[in-house]
Amino acid sequence: MFLEFFYTLKAKGLDVSMTEWLTLMEALDKGLIGSDFSNFYYISRMILVKSESDYDKYDMAFMEFFHDIQSENELSEELRKWLDKGDDMEFDKQNQELYSFNQQRNADEVKRMFRERISEQNSEHNGGNHWIGTSGGSAFGHHGRNVGGIRVGEQGGMQSAFQVMGERKYQDFRNDRVLNMRQYQVAFRRLRQYSSRLDVPKTELDIDKTIEKTCDNGGYLQLEFDRPRKNTVKLLLLFDCGGTMIPFMELCNELFQAVHKANHFKDVKTYYFHNCIYSKVYKTAECEVGDWVDLDYLFKHYDKDYKVIIVGDAQMAPEELLDPNGNYRGPNDGHSGYEWCQLLNSKYKKCVWMNPRYHKELTRMHWMESEDKLSKLFHMYTLSVDGLKEAITYLLKNK
Amino acid sequence: MEAKFTGSKDYVASEELMAAVDVAVALQKPLLIKGEPGTGKTMLAEAISQSMDKELLIWNIKSTTKAQDGLYVYDTIQRLYDSQFGEEGVDDIAHYIKLGKLGEAFRSEKQVILLIDEIDKADLEFPNDLLWELDKMEFYIHETKETIKANERPIVIITSNAEKELPDAFLRRCIFHYITFPDREQMTEIIHAHFENLEENVLKNALDTFYWIRSVRDVRKKPSTSELIDWIRALLISGIDSEHLREKLPFLGVLLKKDEDLEAVNKAKLY
């Protein structure tokens, strides 16, 4: 039975290793867990899960694997008890009338709904009438007005573990959630991580090794060199400030801040564009006409080793991308936006496009034509922790 | 294990955390603690040391720290220097071997608690370099051909601010605990552990204001437990009436360290 739990965890995308599993078995053997179910929840989590970003996945797996145990034993008993003595419960008299229809549900029906809902619900809900949560009129949850429902969570042994899971309070830490500032920063640190392993000649005098070798050499000087550990990553950031990006302004601002706070890059240059990249890019996010530099200027001044990160949603009318006169805010200088993008892509060795609303998995629709074209031209990633990691991995790959 | 960790007078540990400490001790694995800055990661080791009555060794990790520093350092320069002046003992390498914190912990006669503080500050390969030593609790000194083996397996506590990802191989060997930010109830308990006889209304007003500041959206660096404690201390010393904390926000600089954040809170206060 337990081994199945191992595979459930794996299926939920948790990278649980054999070593960790055996450690859990050892803990069970040593009686550290005892017979307390919530203890088991915590201890198996602390042994098997090594990142708070995976807590949510663990909760889901745990819930899936063990929720049968819960609803069939403990809860149905609880339920019966509660249905029997509805009089003792505290509830809001006014609301009781309002929600009285709920009380007519029978136990089986409520239980079935509970199961359905537990599989549908994906966040904490307090105060509503439908989802499982607190202080609401729903048939499920606690501190609610509904007398004929299932109480989920609250104190006591086994249930407290389910309360924690039900709340899914670690949801915020999930990797695939859209990023916040701190997560951006951490993600960008990766851009340094790999760069120290860059294949550069050994040019830095390694004093420790030199001394050691000289000593070994009986006092005759023997010089030892090492690879410089400086970060060589240079970044060129291009932000889309078009109208469709407004919902993501804060997100972009955070990304921008994160890059500039990370002082480990050799150089960071930031420019802005409106909808699509044309012959000029703007110096400020306001994208005021005239306050711009030529794309050629970028090509001349920033060499091909700059890593280009374009942030934009790639939402534009096909003619804005493909027509040589598609730029309605400035000059095109003879090329369409797409051609300018091609030029950019061919000049720089590494370009990525971070898209906050990337429709990667969806079937291509007519209105996605521009995104479709650009995602074929650039390596396009979703603007999330995972997406950024993938993008950074690509940026650091040799070749 | 006979000695159970139950928090200490000054340190309020959640049940989960106490269980984590017990499991780590029983399974003889390092305990990795992660959490927001100011949630008491470092204090935990002190609390464990107090409650179990064991000596605490702290190895503070910096960006330049190498794994070797924790084991031993062979002071070659001193030896070279001494040899030029014909000092005594130059022929004895052991004379120039200085044990690091990990070495000290192994050498100790009694079981000690070793805190490896902020492991993520070091180089990325740092944790990997310590795998063997933490697993086997021994290391080899090449210069003297001596093996240092732990007399009593130390209890190893490792803290991390999640600045860098730690390597998988390292993580697999640890017991992991993430300290979530304390909720109001826990916070009340923590404050009580630090201040005896704190008036109820002062506490209530201070906590109201504190959680309100944390909820202001534009605040970048949210104040943490340690800042709250300093703030309450400042309030007590100055004897300020706690009635209008929220409006007056005295000593805001104790809670917030950034100009933008101070501005954001002052702005939010108006609404």
* DSSP notation for B249-260: -TTHHHH---HH
| Backbone phi and psi for residue A353, each to the nearest 5 degrees, phi listed first | -120, 120
CA nearest A41 in B: which residue?
A: B16
SS3 content of chain A, % helix, strand, coil (to 5): 50, 10, 40
Task: Give the model confidence (pLDDT) of B153-181 as tens digits.
Answer: 899 999 987 666 677 888 888 999 888 88
Per-residue burial over A166-183, b if 16 or more Cβ lie within 10 Å, else e, is bbbbbeebbbeeebebeb
Of A253, A363, A346, which is closest to residue A308 (Cα–Cα)? A346
Helices A18-29 & B15-27, crossing angle to 10 degrees? 100
Contact (CB, 8 A) for A329 and A286: no
pLDDT band at A110 (very low <50, low <70, confident <90, very high): low
Of A142, A76, A69, A145, which is closest to residue A107 (Cα–Cα)? A76
Q: What is the mean pLDDT of residues B9-18?
A: 75
- ipTM of predicted complex: 0.75
Q: Which pLDDT belongs to residue B8?
A: 67
Task: Give the model confidence (pLDDT) of B85-123 as tens digits.
Answer: 777 777 888 888 899 999 999 988 899 999 999 888 887
Strands (E), A267-306: 267-273, 280-282, 292-294
pLDDT band at A386 (very low <50, low <70, confident <90, very high): confident
Q: What is the mean pLDDT of residues A297-319?
A: 85
Q: What is the mean pLDDT of residues B224-239?
A: 86
Q: In 3-state terms, what secondary structure has residue A43?
A: helix
Maximum Cα interatomic distance, chain B, rounded to a whole number of Å? 77
Per-residue pLDDT for B2 more than 70?
no
**C-beta neighbour count of B93 within 10 angstroms:** 18
Q: By percentage, how much of chain B surpasses pLDDT 70?
A: 94
Q: Which pLDDT belongs to residue A128?
A: 43
DSSP letter for each residue of A169-192: TTGGG-TTSPP-HHHHHHHHHHHH
Q: By percentage, how much of chain A surpasses pLDDT 70?
A: 63
Q: What is the mean pLDDT of residues B187-191?
A: 85
Which has the minimum average pLDDT: A179-188, A346-355, B20-29, B218-227?
A179-188
Q: Which pLDDT belongs to residue B53?
A: 87
Q: Which pLDDT belongs to residue B156?
A: 93
Per-residue pLDDT for B36 more than 80?
no
Task: Give the model confidence (pLDDT) of A259-285 as tens digits.
Answer: 776 667 778 888 888 888 888 888 887
Q: Which pLDDT belongs to residue A150?
A: 42
B124 close to A (CB below 8 A)? yes
Contact at CB, A27 and B26, closer than 8 angstroms: yes
Task: Give the model confidence (pLDDT) of A51-90 as tens digits.
Answer: 887 888 888 888 888 776 554 444 444 444 444 444 444 4
Of A312, A310, A338, A337, which is closest to residue A241 (Cα–Cα)? A312
B4 close to A (CB below 8 A)? no
A209 close to B (CB below 8 A)? no
CA distance A139 to chain B (A): 27
Q: Which pLDDT belongs to residue A192?
A: 61
CA–CA dist B144, B216 (Å, integer): 59
Nearest to A211 among B23, B77, B168 (CB): B77
CA distance A386 to chain B (A): 13
Q: In 3-state terms, what secondary structure has residue A285?
A: coil
Which residues are bridge partners to B114 per DSSP? B57, B156
pLDDT band at A100 (very low <50, low <70, confident <90, very high): very low
| Better pLDDT: B57 or A97 | B57
Per-residue pLDDT for A348 more than 80?
yes
**C-beta neighbour count of A338 within 10 angstroms:** 21
DSSP letter for each residue of chain B: --SPP---SS----HHHHHHHHHHHHHT-PEEEEESTTSSHHHHHHHHHHHHT--EEEEE--TT--HHHHHEEE-HHHHHHHHHTT-TTTT-GGGGEEE-HHHHHHH-SS--EEEEETGGGS-TTHHHHTHHHHHHSEEEETTTTEEEE-SSPPEEEEEE-SSSPPPHHHHHTSEEEEEPPP-HHHHHHHHHHH-TT--HHHHHHHHHHHHHHHH-TT-SS---HHHHHHHHHHHHHHT--GGGHHHH-TTHHHH---HHHHHHHHHHHH-
Q: What is the CA radius of gyration of chain A?
A: 29
Contact at CB, B172 and A19, closer than 8 angstroms: yes
Of A219, A262, A260, A255, which is closest to residue A240 (Cα–Cα)? A255
Of B209, B245, B204, which is closest to residue B227 (Cα–Cα)? B209
CA–CA dist B166, A189 (Å, integer): 12
Phi-psi label, residue A154: left if phi above 0, alpha if psi -120 to 50, beta otherwise:
left
Tokens of A299: 């090509």
Contact (CB, 8 A) for B105 and B74: no
Chain A contacts of B172, Cβ < 8 Å? 17, 19-20, 50
Tokens of A7: 């595979």
CA nearest A52 in B: which residue?
A: B178
Tokens of B89: 């003992």
Q: In 3-state terms, what secondary structure has residue A251?
A: helix
Q: Which pLDDT belongs to residue B32?
A: 92
Q: What is the mean pLDDT of residues A376-386?
A: 85
Q: Which pLDDT belongs to residue A183?
A: 65
Average pLDDT across chain B, whole number = 83
**C-beta neighbour count of A363 within 10 angstroms:** 6
| Residue pairs between chains A and B whose CB atoms are closer than 8 Å | 67
Per-residue pLDDT for A175 more than 80?
no
CA nearest A25 in B: which residue?
A: B27
Name the strand (E) or helix (H) holding A225. Answer: strand A225-226
Q: Looking up tokens 């201890």, which residue turns up?
A: A43
Task: Give the model confidence (pLDDT) of B55-94 as tens digits.
Answer: 999 999 987 788 888 999 888 777 877 777 777 777 888 8
Total count of residues recorded for chain B: 271
Task: Give the model confidence (pLDDT) of A118-167 as tens digits.
Answer: 555 544 444 444 444 444 444 444 444 443 344 443 333 344 445 555 55
Q: Which pLDDT belongs to residue A37?
A: 77
Of A264, A134, A116, which is closest to residue A195 (Cα–Cα)? A264
| Better pLDDT: B33 or B185 | B33
Write out residues 13-32 of B within 8 Å (CB-CB) of A: 16, 19-20, 22-23, 26-27, 29, 32
In eight-state DSSP terms, residue A135 is S
Q: Which pLDDT belongs to residue B112?
A: 92
Nearest to B34 among A43, A52, A169 (CB): A52
Q: Which pLDDT belongs to residue A159?
A: 42
Q: Which pLDDT belongs to residue A184?
A: 67
| Better pLDDT: A156 or B147 | B147
Q: What is the mean pLDDT of residues B210-233?
A: 83
CA–CA dist A154, A161 (Å, integer): 9
Best mutation target, A20, A46, A194, A215, to test chain B (most B CBs within 10 A): A46
Chain B contacts of A52, Cβ < 8 Å? 34, 178
Task: Give the model confidence (pLDDT) of A235-253 as tens digits.
Answer: 888 888 877 777 777 777 7
Q: Which pLDDT belongs to residue B56?
A: 92
CA–CA dist A219, A241 (Å, integer): 64
Write out residues 162-201 of B within 8 Å (CB-CB) of A: 162-166, 168, 171-178, 180
Q: Which pLDDT belongs to residue A152?
A: 43
Q: Which pLDDT belongs to residue A140?
A: 46
Contact (CB, 8 A) for A338 and A377: yes
Chain A contacts of B19, Cβ < 8 Å? 39, 42-43, 46
CA–CA dist A83, A75 (Å, integer): 12
- Pseudo-torsion of CA B254, B162, B170, B114, nearest 10°? 0
- Pseudo-torsion of CA A127, A128, A134, A136, nearest 10°? 80
Contact at CB, B34 and A42, closer than 8 angstroms: no
pLDDT band at B10 (very low <50, low <70, confident <90, very high): low
Q: Which pLDDT belongs to residue A138?
A: 45
In this structure, are strands A280-282 and A292-294 parallel, antiparallel, or unpaired? Answer: antiparallel
Of A41, A102, A28, which is closest to residue A69 (Cα–Cα)? A41
Q: In 3-state terms, what secondary structure has residue A353?
A: strand
CA–CA dist A384, A13 (Å, integer): 17
Contact at CB, B178 and A52, closer than 8 angstroms: yes
Chain B contacts of A15, Cβ < 8 Å? 168
